A and B are shown apart, each in its own frame.
Chain A
Amino acid sequence: MTARSAVLVRGLGKSYRIAKGDRPNRITEALVQRLRHPWQRTTYETFEALQDVDLEIPWGEAVGIVGRNGAGKSTLLKILTRITAPTAGRIELGGRIGSLLEVGTGFHPELTGRENVYLNGTLLGMRRKEIQRRFDEIVDFAGVEKFLDTPVKRYSSGMYVRLAFSVAAHLETEILAIDEVLAVGDAEFQAKSLAKMREAARSGRTVLYVSHQAQTVSALCSSAIFLDRGRLTFQGPVEEALTEYRRTFADFHQAQQDPSRRAGTGELRFTEAQVAEDTMEPTADKVVEFAVGANADVVGQYYVSCHINDANGNVVVQCDSRLVGTWLDPASPQRGALTIKDLWLKPGRYTFDLYLCKAGILDAWEGAGAFEILPKAPYTEVTSDEALSHGMVLADFEYEKW
Chain B
Amino acid sequence: MTTVITPPGRLNLPAWRELWEAREVLYRFGLRDVILRYRQTAIGVAWVVLQPLAAAGIFAIVFGQVANLSSGAVPYFVFSFAGMLVWNLFNGIVSRASPSLVANQALVAKVFFPRMLVPLSSVLSVLLDFLVASGMLVVLLVLYGIPVGWQVLTLPLWVAAAVVLASGVGLAGAALTVKYRDVNYTLPWLMQILLYATPVAYSLDEVGDLRWLFNLNPLTWLLECFRWAVLGTEMPPAWQMGGIAAVAVAAFLAGTLVFQKMERGFADVI
Contact = CB atoms under 8 A, between A and B. Distances in A.
A84 B5 CA distance: 10
A25 B111 contact: no
Contact of A123 (B4, B6, B28): B28
Given A28-B182, A90-B6, A83 B110 contact: yes
Given A27-B182, A78-B267, A110-B36, A85 B8 contact: yes
A115 B32 contact: yes
Contact of A83 (B1, B2, B109, B181): B109
Contacts of B2: 2-3, 92-94
Contact of B36 (A82, A101, A111, A122): A111
A353 to B, nearest CB: 28
B5 A122 contact: no
A128 B112 contact: no
A87 interface: yes
A96 to B, nearest CB: 7
B180 interface: yes
A78 B267 CA distance: 9
B22 to A, nearest CB: 8
B7 A87 contact: yes
Contact of B24 (A30, A93, A127): A127
Contacts of B106: 102, 105-106
A288 interface: no
Interface in A43-95: 78-95
Interface string B174-202: 00000111110000000000000000000
Contacts of B113: 123, 125
A354 B106 CA distance: 32
Nearest to A30: B180
Most buried by B among A2, A81, A84, A128: A84
A124 B112 CA distance: 8
Contacts of B31: 115, 119
A93 B111 contact: no
A82 B110 contact: no
Contacts of B179: 25
A90 B7 CA distance: 8
Contacts of A2: 1-2
A106 B107 contact: yes
B264 A84 contact: yes
A26 B184 CA distance: 11
B7 A99 contact: no
A90 B28 contact: no
A118 interface: yes
Nearest to B23: A122
Contacts of A105: 106-107, 110-111
B21 to A, nearest CB: 9
A208 B64 CA distance: 67
A118 B36 contact: no
A16 interface: yes
A152 B224 CA distance: 46
Nearest to A119: B28
B110 A102 contact: yes
A26 B265 contact: no
A275 B87 CA distance: 72
B68 interface: no
Given A101-B110, A108-B36, A123-B25, 18 more contacts: A83-B110, A83-B111, A84-B267, A85-B7, A86-B5, A90-B5, A91-B4, A91-B6, A92-B2, A106-B111, A110-B40, A115-B35, A119-B32, A122-B24, A122-B25, A122-B28, A125-B113, A151-B39
Interface of B: 1-8, 24-25, 28-29, 31-32, 35-36, 39-40, 106-107, 109-113, 179-183, 264-265, 267-268
10 contacts: A2-B1, A25-B180, A26-B181, A78-B267, A88-B7, A90-B5, A92-B2, A96-B3, A102-B110, A115-B32
Interface of A: 2-3, 16, 25-28, 30, 78-97, 99, 101-102, 105-106, 108, 110-111, 115, 118-119, 122-125, 127-128, 151
